[in-house]
């Protein structure tokens, strides 16, 4: 049972992927942990602490970034505004939203704006890794 | 003018409260005036059955008129009561809606404020469990912390589901 639990809760180090993920999170400890798990999951990780920084980072690394993982409750410009701005820069952008609370109306708005998946906080590392993988794989399938 | 207004208000209040009493006063008043008229006429021209008929023939119609007025007053009172009740219910409903929307707003803020640190706890625990995976006691303790933090999250979720939906 214990082994099963460990297998379930402890992510194993993955093989390295070639994809880059931009994490947008204002909560510094959470940002650090997400960076750790995604990095450990084999991704190249870029970080931003607010919407403005996220847009700047995306513009600077547009060709490199395959996926954006963003919080919705951000200081300065809101998560929704940031998503819309990123979508204007690249209409084919892949975005995953993570939030402690997502209003149903906001949920449908961000989905219309091109968000591919929504993850509710608190989440397990596997949930994030799995969602990221699914969204990235769906892009690969579409490209084929 | 002021006393006239207050007398009118008093009469209005009384008529709404006791319409049957008003009807009584109405009929007694009319009968009193009719009798005075009859006495005056009898003194002037001598008593006659025709005068008696003239004076009291209108009495049934006056009674019908008074009954109609009483009925109108009663219906108006009922209508006013229903309107007051509806207005009170509407105010109560508005108050309840305002309270509910304030609670929903608080719920949004709380969900956001609580779930962010819970996410930090969940991810930190996963990391810690990896670091201490050979020490089963520590892994158990980490699992206990994880369960406790999940309970904190579910308290708010359950409250939202049961009380605010």
> What letter does residue B45 receive in the DSSP assignment?
H
Give me chain A's average pLDDT, please: 85
Supply A78's token pair.
Answer: 């809101």
- For A121, the closest of B116, B129, B133 (CB atoms) is B116
A118 touches B: beta carbon within 8 Å:
no
pLDDT value of residue A7: 42
Name the residue with tokens 């008074």. Answer: B66
Please list every residue in chain B whose beta carbon sits closer than 8 Å to the beta carbon of residue A97: none
Strand A20-24 to A115-120 pairing: unpaired
**Over 60: is that where the pLDDT of A131 sits?**
yes
Report chain B's terminal Cα–Cα distance, integer Å: 57
Q: pLDDT over 90 for what percent of chain B?
A: 24
B145 touches A: beta carbon within 8 Å:
no
Q: How far apart are CA B38 and CA B58, in angstroms?
A: 13
pLDDT value of residue A1: 34
Interface A-B: count of C-beta contacts within 8 A: 75
B119 touches A: beta carbon within 8 Å:
yes
pLDDT value of residue B21: 78
Of A17 and B117, the one with more pLDDT: B117
B108 touches A: beta carbon within 8 Å:
yes
A3 touches B: beta carbon within 8 Å:
no
Q: pLDDT over 70 for what percent of chain A?
A: 85
Q: Do A37 and B123 touch (CB under 8 A)?
A: yes
CB B30 within 8 A of CB B59: yes
Report chain A's terminal Cα–Cα distance, integer Å: 42
Q: Which CATH superfamily is domain A17-138 in?
A: Response regulator (3.40.50.2300)
Please list every residue in chain A whose beta carbon sits closer than 8 Å to the beta carbon of residue B120: 27, 29-30, 33
User: Does residue A58 have a cis bond before it (omega within 30 degrees)?
Assistant: no
Of B155 and A55, the one with more pLDDT: A55
Q: Which tens digit of pLDDT belongs to each residue from A14-33?
A: 567 789 999 999 999 999 99
pLDDT value of residue A14: 53
The set of residues, in sequence order, having a beta carbon less than 8 Å from that of B69 and lying 6+ positions away, is B19, B22, B23, B26
Q: Which tens digit of pLDDT belongs to each residue from B120-131?
A: 999 999 999 988
Q: How far apart are CA A20 and CA B94, in angstroms?
A: 51
A123 touches B: beta carbon within 8 Å:
yes
**Over 60: is that where the pLDDT of A59 sits?**
yes
CA distances to A99, A112, B9, B38, B45 from B49, rounded to whole Å, are: 98, 95, 41, 10, 12
Domain ranges of chain A: 17-138
Residue B133 pLDDT grade (very low, low, confident, very high; cuts 50, 70, 90): confident
pLDDT value of residue A140: 66
The answer to which of A50-54, A60-64, B57-61 has the lowest mean pLDDT is B57-61
Is ipTM > 0.90 here?
Answer: no
**Over 80: is that where the pLDDT of A56 sits?**
yes
Q: Which tens digit of pLDDT belongs to each residue from B19-42?
A: 777 778 878 888 888 888 888 888
> What letter does residue B133 receive in the DSSP assignment?
T
pLDDT value of residue B34: 85
């Amino acid at each position: 049972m214990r082994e099963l639990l460990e297998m379930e809760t402890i992510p194993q180090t993955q093989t390295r992927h070639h994809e880059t993920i931009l994490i947008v999170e204002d909560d510094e400890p959470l940002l650090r942990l997400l960076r750790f798990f995604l990095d450990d999951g084999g991704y190249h990780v870029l970080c931003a602490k607010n919407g403005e920084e996220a847009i700047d980072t995306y513009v600077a690394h547009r060709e490199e970034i395959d996926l954006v993982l963003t919080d919705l409750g951000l200081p300065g410009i809101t998560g929704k505004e940031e998503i819309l701005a990123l979508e204007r820069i690249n209409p084919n952008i892949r975005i995953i939203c993570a939030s402690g609370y997502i209003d149903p109306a906001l949920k449908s708005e961000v989905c219309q704006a091109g968000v591919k998946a929504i993850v509710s906080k608190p989440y397990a590392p596997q949930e994030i890794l799995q969602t990221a993988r699914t969204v990235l794989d769906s892009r690969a399938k579409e490209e084929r | 003018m002021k006393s006239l207004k207050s007398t009118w208000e008093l009469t209005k209040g009384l008529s709404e409260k006791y319409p049957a009493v008003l009807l009584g006063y109405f009929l007694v008043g009319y009968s009193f005036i009719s009798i005075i008229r009859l006495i005056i006429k009898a003194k002037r021209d001598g008593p006659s059955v025709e005068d008696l008929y003239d004076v009291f023939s209108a009495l049934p119609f006056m009674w019908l008129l008074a009954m109609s007025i009483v009925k109108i007053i009663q219906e108006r009172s009922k209508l006013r009561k229903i309107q007051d009740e509806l207005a009170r219910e509407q105010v109560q409903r508005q108050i309840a809606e305002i309270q509910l929307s304030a609670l929903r707003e608080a719920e949004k803020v709380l969900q956001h404020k609580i779930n962010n640190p819970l996410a930090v706890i969940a991810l930190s625990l996963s990391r810690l469990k990896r670091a201490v995976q050979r020490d089963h006691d520590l892994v158990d303790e980490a699992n206990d912390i994880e369960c406790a933090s999940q309970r904190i999250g579910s308290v708010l979720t359950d409250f939202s589901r049961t009380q605010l939906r």
